[in-house]
């Protein structure tokens, strides 16, 4: 396992980022969120200073997203999920 570094961005956003680069990897994450949470796991980030949905893949954790196809479990704007799993309170 490689070193992980917390990188704080603007506002309330923060990210846990590896100091290493990976071609292929497996990721297992456990999380507990409220029903109204809007969060996600960003992967394939090439620039620590530009971690946002426009520059990385976001695996969504957002049960009440207006477009439910990209709700919890989907990769935003890339891979929809159906049925959408619900994460809130679990």
Cis peptide before 83 (omega within 30 of 0): yes
Q: Which pTM value belongs to this model?
A: 0.76
pLDDT at residue 5, rounded to an integer: 55
Higher-scoring residue by pLDDT: 51, 86: 86
Q: What is the mean pLDDT of residues 13-26?
A: 79
Q: Does residue 65 or residue 8 have the better pLDDT?
A: 65
23 alpha carbon, distance to own chain's centre: 18
62 against 55, higher pLDDT: 62
Cα separation, 76 vs 90, in Å, equals: 21
What ranges do the domains of the chain cover? Answer: 29-90
Q: What is the pLDDT of residues 49-59, one digit of tens each?
A: 777 777 889 99
How far apart (Å, rounded) are the C-alpha atoms in residues 51 and 35? 24
């Amino acid at each position: 396992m490689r070193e992980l570094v917390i990188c704080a961005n603007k506002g309330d956003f923060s990210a846990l980022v590896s100091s290493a680069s990976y071609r292929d990897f497996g990721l297992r994450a456990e999380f507990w969120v409220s029903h109204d949470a809007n969060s996600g796991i960003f992967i394939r980030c090439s620039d620590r200073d530009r971690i946002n949905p426009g520059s990385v893949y976001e695996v969504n954790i957002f049960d009440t997203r207006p477009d439910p196809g990209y709700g919890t479990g989907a990769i935003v704007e890339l891979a929809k999920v159906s049925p959408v799993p619900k994460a809130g309170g679990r």
